């Protein structure tokens, strides 16, 4: 569920913030996110995408976004086979 994902991401961010020994105020300043937005994320798991990206950069986690939506979608096995055939032709 989306709420579960948001909770997990917020919990991981808090853990990473603490690993870096940053207060909420320090992370807010470093990330360009308001202190209120950071607190709302930690408590209610709500934040804008821009805010989340700013926090990720501040904590050195920007590469964690690389895998998001990176895998192609296949509706069935025929799509997989067709994609592999196209890849072979390109080589």
Ramachandran angles phi, psi of 72, nearest 5°: -70, 155
| Helical ranges in 23-90 per DSSP H | 24-31, 35-44, 49-58, 77-90
Taking each helix axis from N to C end, the angle separating 35-44 and 49-58, rounded to the nearest 10 degrees, works out to: 100
So what's the pLDDT on residue 91? 66
Each residue's pLDDT tens digit, 37-70? 999 999 999 999 999 999 999 999 999 988 888 8
Q: Which residues contact 84 (CB under 8 A, 6 or more apart)?
A: none
Q: Examine the pLDDT at 88 and tell me if it is beyond 90.
A: no
Q: Examine the pLDDT at 89 and tell me if it is beyond 80.
A: no
Residue 15 CB neighbour total at 10 angstroms: 10
So what's the pLDDT on residue 70? 85
pTM exceeding the 0.85 threshold for the entire prediction = no
> What's the mean per-residue pLDDT of the chain?
93
32 and 54 Cβ atoms separated by less than 8 Å:
yes
So what's the pLDDT on residue 18? 98
Q: What is the CATH number of domain 2-65?
A: 1.10.260.40
């Amino acid at each position: 569920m989306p709420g579960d994902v948001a909770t997990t991401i917020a919990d991981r961010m808090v853990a990473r913030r603490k690993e870096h020994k940053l207060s909420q105020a320090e992370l807010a300043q470093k990330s360009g996110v308001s202190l209120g937005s950071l607190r709302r994320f930690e408590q209610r798991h709500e934040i804008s995408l821009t805010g989340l990206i700013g926090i990720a950069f501040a904590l050195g986690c920007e590469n964690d976004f690389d895998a998001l939506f990176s895998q192609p979608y296949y509706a069935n096995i025929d799509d997989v086979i067709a994609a592999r055939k196209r890849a072979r032709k390109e080589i």
